[in-house]
Amino acid sequence: MDIINNMKKNILFSASFLSSDFTEMKNNIEIIESAKADFIHFDVMDGNFVPVITYGEKMISDCRKISKLPFDVHLMINRPEHLIPEIAAAGADIITIQAESTIHLHRVVTQISELKKKAGICIIPSTPIENIIELLPFVDLVLIMTVNPGYGAQEFIWEMLEKVKKLKQIREKHNYKYLLEVDGGINQETYKPALEAGVDLIVAGSAFFNCPAPSKFVEMIKGGF
């Protein structure tokens, strides 16, 4: 099943696993699934590209055993090409790499596609969209970080929505296929402006897991404007 093309007409939500309590892994997945999230978002961090270390392919593989939801895996690591085969085998459906993390971006995007996974590319707040223009025909997803990556519960950087607007214009002009995703600082106050800018896929962690009714949070996001 084409998990992206089959969902393109809808507003999508991806629950960020990083913000959950890892001692309650199975319960966390049940919360995500019962809330009718479209994806589970996994942030793989190496303590090098970003300041902290999170988890790797084993966590994703263990979660794959207890969930049928598509896995949206974001590699915040240097030289991701060395880990991509393991992440793919662990059960990732979408693999997103950082534009700043490797020299041969086209080669790594192709590597993901050849593994029959959806390929995404991400830029941090300080990276202009011009750095990824040549990659846009080859990716299925573009992730705009709306915080500086590495920690949860940061404040939303509003200026990043201008990148979303530009990328939407480029997609329409060239009939590209990528989804636009944002991650960082998404909550009840920021999701609507993100959607108005042209976002297709919203990632949220702290706001989702700290909400007294996660299903209501997802319903609000997917209800749109």
- Catalytic site positions: 43, 183
Q: CA angle at residue 82 from 45 to 74, to 5 degrees?
A: 35
| Token pair recorded at residue 196 | 């108005």
Q: CA angle at residue 119 from 82 to 97, to 5 degrees?
A: 50
Cβ atoms within 10 Å, residue 183: 24
Which sign, positive or negative, has the C-alpha torsion 210, 212, 214, 220?
A: negative
Q: Which of 160, 162, 133, 134 is nearest to 145 (CA)?
A: 160
Q: What DSSP element (H or E) covers 121?
A: strand 118-123
Distance between CA atoms of residues 145 and 126, nearest Å: 10
Cβ atoms within 10 Å, residue 187: 16
SS3 208: helix
Q: Which of 162, 143, 166, 149 is nearest to 78 (CA)?
A: 149
